[in-house]
Amino acid sequence: MAAMSLDKILQSQGFGSRKSCRAAVEQGLVRIGGQIAPDWSQTYSTEGLELTVGSVSIPFREQLYLAMNKPSGYECSSRPSHHPSVLSLLDDLCRNRNVQPVGRLDHDTTGLLLLSDDGAFIHRQSSPKHHVPKLYHARTARPVDAALVSAMLQGVQLHDEDGPLRAISCEQTGEHELDIVLEQGKYHQVKRMLAAAGNHCTALERVAIGRLYLKDLGLASGAWMHLLPEHRALLSPEALS
């Protein structure tokens, strides 16, 4: 990994403008591997670098890959219109790095949301061409029956789509509950498909993306974490084949 000057390293990690990062070093607020850094122009190899600014310590991360347990009442937009943005639940370091949600969940949908500042990762996870399955748990207003499950699997025609949209799988899990797997992420897709099939979605949670399950991450509602390499492996094309 390339060596970089300390001011650039700090800026790349979200600690603010180059000017404010230089000022932090000059004030003796920055430690590298536990030692006060003497000079912002000094270069360091970023591999395995541990940085401390004031009371905040982080490992150098070239890119950010986050998972959040999205609560209801938040929008997946950086310019929300009616509810706060999911980005407001992150810390300043992540927000300063321009982390973006991978696809969108409705404001009232809960569950697994990925966020990243890696454009190629965002594209791979959200493009239907890459067939990343997303598992949703839906509650319905009226009881689920075999006709509903069959319609979701055969395909339902939504008024603004060229052809029918079908679920990759659809299983009844309770009188008013369904597990639905989709590979696309069209606007309100689960809710619109259930409505077109004659029912109404009253609650929706995304419980897995690829082979990454929310329940295995131990995230409380509204909490988020940095994905570990083993978590990212569960999202890779190899894990899906």
Alpha helices in the chain (DSSP H): 6-12, 18-26, 92-96, 119-126, 146-154, 189-196, 229-233, 237-240
Q: Are 168 and 181 in contact (CB under 8 A)?
A: yes
Q: Which of these ranges, 120-128, 144-152, 186-194, 221-229, lies near ligand URA under the rule CB under 6 A?
A: 186-194
Minimum gap (Å) between residue 133 Cβ and ligand URA: 13
User: Which C-beta is closer to ligand URA: that of 18 or that of 188?
Assistant: 188
Question: Cα separation of 135 and 170, whole Å?
Answer: 9
The amino acid occupying position 153 is: L
Please give the structure tokens belonging to residue 97.
């790095």
Least Cβ distance, residue 44 to ligand URA (angstroms)? 42
* Closest to 226 measured CA to CA, from 28, 94, 125, 29: 94
CA of 6: how far to CAs of 18, 45, 136, in Å? 10, 10, 44
Figure out which of the listed residues 24, 190, 197, 212 binds ligand URA, where binding follows CB under 6 A.
190
Distance CA 227, CA 165 (A): 31
Total residues in contact with ligand URA, by rule CB under 6 A? 8
With binding defined as CB under 6 A, does residue 132 bind ligand URA?
Answer: no
Which of 210-220 are b and which e, b meaning 16 or more Cβ less than 10 Å from the residue's Cβ? Answer: bebebeebebe
Q: Considering only 14-22, 49-57, 88-96, 187-195, which stretch makes contact with ligand URA by CB under 6 A?
A: 187-195
Q: Is 105 in the site for ligand URA (CB under 6 A)?
A: yes
> 46, 69, 109, 140: which one contacts ligand URA (CB under 6 A)?
109
Collapsing DSSP to helix, strand or coil, 129 comes out as helix
* Active site amino acids: 106
Task: Point out which span in 58-66, 89-97, 149-157, 185-193 binds ligand URA (CB under 6 A).
Answer: 185-193
Q: Is 161 in the site for ligand URA (CB under 6 A)?
A: no
Among 106, 161, 177, 179, binds ligand URA (CB under 6 A): 106
Binding status of residue 179 toward ligand URA by CB under 6 A = no
Minimum CB separation of residue 178 from ligand URA in Å reads 12
> Binding residues for ligand URA, per CB under 6 A?
105-106, 109, 188-191, 204
